[in-house]
Amino acid sequence: MGFDSLIGGSIWDEYSQKVQNRMNNPKYMGEITEEEAKKKGGKLIVADFGAESCGDAVRLYWVVDEKTDKIIDAKFKSFGCGTAIASSDVMTELTLGKSVDEAVKITNLDVEFAMRDNPETPAVPPQKMHCSVMAYDVIKKAASLYKGVDMDSFEDEIIVCECARVSLGTLKDVIKLNDLKTIEEITDYTKAGGFCKSCIKPGGHEEREYYLVDILRDVREEMEKEKVLKAVNNSDNEGSFKDMTVVQQLKKVESVIDENIRQMLIMDGGNLEILDIKPNGENTDVYIRYLGACSGCASSSTGTLYAIEAILKEKIDESIRVLPI
């Protein structure tokens, strides 16, 4: 029975198309034997990680070239919900071809972002965000087994919620990225504070250095300050993009594309390059060329093009038009 027959339309709409595809047709589900790893000339690593909070678990298989520390093959098994399968599948794909040191830098936010259909819309509903945290943790477990160290040695941030293993940095990022305003929303998105509740505020059974109420207050204050500063800068620099040199404009556009767009294209086997930027009356025309799979994609002149143009308009200047060549 497919997942699409188990979930109603209204709930299904909260999942990106990429998540739906990975639920029903994961690319990297399976296992790797010692014999298969030897044939590939690598060391087999098998890592298990379970989330006590929801009962889901994942097993990650790596074949690592010990001469280069590169992950030359990877598969997974997931024991849990469809979102856990999709998250594990994307996580496995993200580790392929990377060194172990590079793979351990992949975060749960990277996994969730890679499952989005567009940069602005979360891939899964809030209550399922914790599945990408589990995918992140099993990478650290596999790396620790390969290097012979404790997995906690890879944690370079302070853990605020021990129950859900959510770090201070992750909490700050999630609050900012999703404009969260309440503790309940933080718990929905990260599972932090959903179990023993000691991390929510002082007075729980265990004293903490950081509490969610304080983190939320501080981040919201920082966001308000950034909003005011941005408004002031936008007012002071109105029309500044048009006043830039072509080289400056190219760098600005490239920066926004790298930050908001390029990863999504690469995940689908494509890319793009900026060819030129020219003023055209009231508009500023940005000429692009699609690369790889994007060059033959039907949406390259419709949905994808609209998304690229919308992001550049929002992040840089309303006068921008994107023209594929």
Active-site positions? 54, 131
Contact 105, 155 (CB under 8 A): no
Sheet holding 320-324, edge to edge: 270-280, 283-292, 320-324
